[in-house]
Amino acid sequence: MGYALRRLGFYLLAAFASITLNFLVPRLMPGDPASAMFARFQGQMQPEAMTALRASFGLDAGSTFQQYLAYLKHVFTGDLGRSIAYYPTPVTDVIGTGLAWTLVLTGVAVILSFALGTFLGTLAAWRRGGLLDSMFPPVLAFIGAFPYFWLAMFALYLFGFVLGWFPLRHAYSYDMTPGPTFGFFLDAVHHAVLPAATIVVATVGGWMLGMRNNMIGILGSDYITMARAKGLSQKRVMWRYAARNALLPSITSFGMALGFVLSGSLLSEIIFSYPGMGYLLVQAVRGQDYPLMQGLFLIITLSVLFANWLVDITIAWLDPRTRANE
């Protein structure tokens, strides 16, 4: 428990750092882009929108430190300003629905991919030099070298346009009303298959190779030899002795890679016009909607930090040594 709290402390520090970074970036950039932005919007926006925008940047509130305090107060009360593209909807409301779609889609896809990759990696290391071990890593490395969104375009073209197996856009059909019905669930799953599959295909190779290499290290250790000498069954040695230990560094790198994978999946959401965070991100960039962009940065970062904390807790749960020290 002490361990979990200490890690939480670190992530709170990281969260604070990213909140501060979010405040500093527009102010540190050369040529005062915030002012430049207002100059550009002059005349295009309604005066009240301009005022709201200024307020959300805290530009009216005196010295930089006072601005910072005002900004912190806004953040902690859940006020991230108003979106320009969706004016006058508050940024938090715009992000709200997108966050849910992204979390479900990416969360499920990433965990599936990790489980599959780990499983394949275990088998590949166990049967060194077998088909799985010699063929899969290079092929998956090649597929993994494509940008996620490119794979998404390719999948959409092939399975959406040419073959027509999957819907072309959005998270559910337009004639559906979102709600807890079985029909809606099926429809949402049907829409999610292609985006999720893209993420799985693009990332599974990395997990597999990582697990394979960890396993190979573990398989040379004395306790594996002893487990075999004890007359334990192959399955038991492979899973309970080898994979169980090789999993620990794999989960650590899973936590590390989470932010990276999420970034990639945001881009493929755009291809499928999936109404998640990635789609909002591109809207924000194209509409130069700075408040939305910064809100997205903050929310994505906080989600990743939270996910990393969960990963740390999982490791503590799986590794008795972590619980004891550090």
The answer to whether 57 touches 49, Cβ cutoff 8 Å, is: no
SS3 80: coil
If binding is defined by CB under 8 A, does position 92 make contact with other proteins?
Answer: no
Q: Which of 173, 178, 244, 310 binds other proteins (CB under 8 A)?
A: 244
Give the helix, strand, coil percentages of the chain, each rounded to 5: 80, 0, 20
If binding is defined by CB under 8 A, does position 238 make contact with other proteins?
Answer: yes
**Nearest alpha-carbon partner for 114 in 258, 219, 236:** 258
Within 258-317, which residues bind other proteins (CB under 8 A)? 258-260, 262-264, 266-267, 270-271, 281-282, 285-286, 288, 290, 293-294, 296-297, 300-301, 304-305, 308
What number of chain residues touch other proteins (CB under 8 A)? Answer: 98
Q: Which of 61, 232, 251, 272 binds other proteins (CB under 8 A)?
A: 232
Q: CB 266 → other proteins: shortest distance, Å?
A: 7
Q: CB 220 → other proteins: shortest distance, Å?
A: 7
Q: Which of 35, 111, 181, 223 binds other proteins (CB under 8 A)?
A: 223
The Cα 260–Cα 144 span in angstroms is 13
If binding is defined by CB under 8 A, does position 10 make contact with other proteins?
Answer: yes
Q: CB 84 → other proteins: shortest distance, Å?
A: 13
Within 18-77, which residues bind other proteins (CB under 8 A)? 18, 21-22, 25-26, 29-31, 33
The answer to whether 248 touches 218, Cβ cutoff 8 Å, is: no
**Nearest alpha-carbon partner for 302 in 277, 265, 267, 269:** 277
The Cα 9–Cα 299 span in angstroms is 18
Q: Which of 126, 166, 172, 207 binds other proteins (CB under 8 A)?
A: 126
Within 185-204, which residues bind other proteins (CB under 8 A)? none
Which class for 44: exposed (0-12), middle (13-18), buried (19 or more C-beta within 10 A)? Answer: exposed
Please identify, among the stretches 93-101, 103-111, 173-181, 226-234, the one whose residues bind other proteins according to the rule CB under 8 A: 226-234
If binding is defined by CB under 8 A, does position 233 make contact with other proteins?
Answer: yes
If binding is defined by CB under 8 A, does position 145 make contact with other proteins?
Answer: yes
DSSP symbols for 84-124: STTTTSBHHHHHHHHHHHHHHHHHHHHHHHHHHHHHHHHHH
**Nearest alpha-carbon partner for 224 in 208, 245, 210, 248:** 245
**Structure token digits, residue 81:** 């300003």
If binding is defined by CB under 8 A, does position 154 make contact with other proteins?
Answer: yes
> Which of 188, 301 has the CB closer to other proteins?
301
The answer to whether 144 touches 203, Cβ cutoff 8 Å, is: yes
Please identify, among the stretches 79-87, 113-121, 173-181, 256-264, the one whose residues bind other proteins according to the rule CB under 8 A: 256-264
Q: CB 181 → other proteins: shortest distance, Å?
A: 31
The answer to whether 253 touches 244, Cβ cutoff 8 Å, is: no
The Cα 152–Cα 325 span in angstroms is 44
Q: CB 192 → other proteins: shortest distance, Å?
A: 19
